[in-house]
Chain A
């Protein structure tokens, strides 16, 4: 499990993550929701050792993130950040091969190539392997980055807003893939999402944050209630049932 114990992070005088204790990374997909500035990405940064907590401790399967070698953690936990700007000109395959870096330090073995090939076909990128990243559409590029994370072959996968800037079709496509990764490959996925309806549809568990604190943590179904969502986003949210599934209406 990814365990946070009394974790805090401050920028200057503002506390972005405030004494959070939570265990993430159970089987299936866990969605992290909340308004902008709730501390979701900061939480990811703390788990993904990009940020140092001002207080508290983060452990991944018992390994303290602060003291365990980065290369060891990278074989257990993969993190995909929001903005993935790459200065170098890489092909899709080059990128996915980087996913094997924690295992082979850049010297690819037959086993590594196998993982790369499987990740490429899993994300339906076989025809694009020699294409350069800057020649791909947003959806294809996002798939390439997810393929890299998949090739990393970790138990836990953290995805920070992977649906940013994607249209409806690609959004659904990526979410279906993520669901499949959890169901078929047994990946434990934690994902930051903005669209609560997407979260309700694809996630097993939803954790809601607001002002640096976890305000709700329950199975998806239980979070989808007007009073819970209204409190999280501080805006009136109506929840209706369509074909037996809860749908939040927040357009006023």
Chain B
């Protein structure tokens, strides 16, 4: 069954009489990660090979590009949200609090507002992508160095200012959108929903490179990230150069998020679900396990959501609706099931 993207990742219930070995293996993070990897592979196969209307090779070419875009996006969202949670010591935030999504919408709105939807659609994709990436990264790094790198060194102050500025950008965007003519508004709101299908090849490649670079900066810090989970004072006591490490991590997160948002639109919405599912699924606080688990769960969400959207609803909705609905339900199930822990 494809209708429930979450069903494929649920653990096979161990037979009650002899649970020992299977249960013991299942308690290992690698087993859970492998199961998740299997689910992702299965979903990918279903997405690639099922329901092909015409030429298989043509369908494969188009669809594999979409799958690659999903991989890039779920890596960016999964890794950045988990890292952000660890830096801020808070599991209910996503990097969108720094105004990434708001900025993306603002930039697009400003272009449509001043030059009209025709110009917006005709705008060179590469330039648009570059402008958005540069502006988003510059804004978040500026905010970060001002409020964390300087004398203040307060992550909470930075978050607070981020929320206030994000709200400001959103109101400003709304105000501009209200003055657009209906046709322009239609075009704009279409662009404001994340879509992973058929991304531009050059942009996809560029985004993939940026996300890979960011991951290359984060992966060597995975054990330091574990220590950061103890909080800043303890991490400093254990010899972590907190300021430098957080700076590196934050810059990597900004680059990843900016690049993939500029590629597919506002995508941070499922970061929260994916990261919290990952903590629960991985069964370990170590980033060696939570980071890849978050990425794979992101793949499950995107692939499953896209399948449901395409094959069940015939594109009669948006990806975010599908993922939020199914992922939200599954999340509630996990939270309530573990309520007693």
Within 8 A of B (CB), among A72-92: 72-75, 78-81, 84-90
Interface membership of chain B positions 218-234, coded 1 if the CB is closer than 8 angstroms to chain A and 0 otherwise: 00000110110111111
Q: Given the complex of chains A and B, what is the CA–CA distance between A81 and B240 in angstroms?
A: 15
The residue that B239 contacts in the complex, of A86, A88, A102, with Cβ under 8 A, is A102
From residue A87, how far is it (CB to closest CB) to chain B in Å? 5
Q: Knowing A81-B233, A87-B229, say if A70 contacts B91 (CB, 8 Å).
A: no
Q: Using A70-B240, A106-B223, A106-B227 as known contacts, say yes or no to A90 and B233 having CB atoms under 8 A apart.
A: no
Report the Cα distance A74→B227, complex, angstroms: 13
Question: Which residue of B229, B233, B239 contacts A71 across the interface (Cβ within 8 Å)?
Answer: B239
Question: Smallest distance from the beta carbon of B305 to chain A beta carbons, Å?
Answer: 29
Contact call B91/A98, Cβ cutoff below 8 A:
no
A71 to B226, alpha carbons, bound, how many Å?
A: 16
Query: B237 near A: Cβ within 8 Å?
Result: yes
Q: Is the CB of A75 within 8 A of B237?
A: no
Residue pair A101, B238 in contact (C-beta under 8 Å): yes
B278: min CB distance to chain A, Å: 13
Interface residues in A50-88 by Cβ distance below 8 A to B read 50, 69-75, 78-81, 84-88
Closest to B241 in A: A70
**What are the residues of chain B within 8 A of A98 when measuring CB–CB?**
226-227, 230, 234, 238
**How many angstroms from the CA of A152 to the CA of B242 in the assembled complex?**
18
Residues of A contacting B223 in the complex (Cβ-Cβ under 8 angstroms):
101, 105-107
Chain B residues whose C-beta falls within 8 Å of the C-beta of A88 in the assembled complex:
229-230, 285
User: Known contacts being A86-B231, A89-B285, A106-B224, is A48 close to B239, with CB within 8 Å?
Assistant: no
Q: What residues on B are CB-neighbors of A212 within 8 Å? A: none
Q: Which of chain B's residues have a CB closer than 8 A to the CB of A69?
A: 239, 241
CB of A74 within 8 A of CB of B226, answer no
> B232, B234, B237 — which one has the most chain A CB atoms within 10 A of its CB?
B237
Q: Can you list 30 A-B pairs, Cβ within 8 angstroms, ordered by A?
A: A48-B237, A50-B233, A70-B240, A70-B241, A71-B240, A75-B239, A78-B237, A80-B237, A81-B234, A84-B230, A84-B234, A86-B229, A86-B230, A86-B231, A87-B89, A87-B90, A87-B229, A87-B231, A88-B285, A89-B285, A95-B230, A98-B227, A99-B238, A101-B223, A101-B238, A101-B239, A101-B240, A105-B223, A106-B227, A152-B238
Q: What residues make up the interface of B, taking CB atoms closer than 8 Å to A?
A: 89-91, 223-224, 226-227, 229-234, 236-242, 285
Q: Which residues of A contact B (CB under 8 A)?
A: 48-50, 69-75, 78-81, 84-90, 94-95, 98-99, 101-102, 105-107, 152
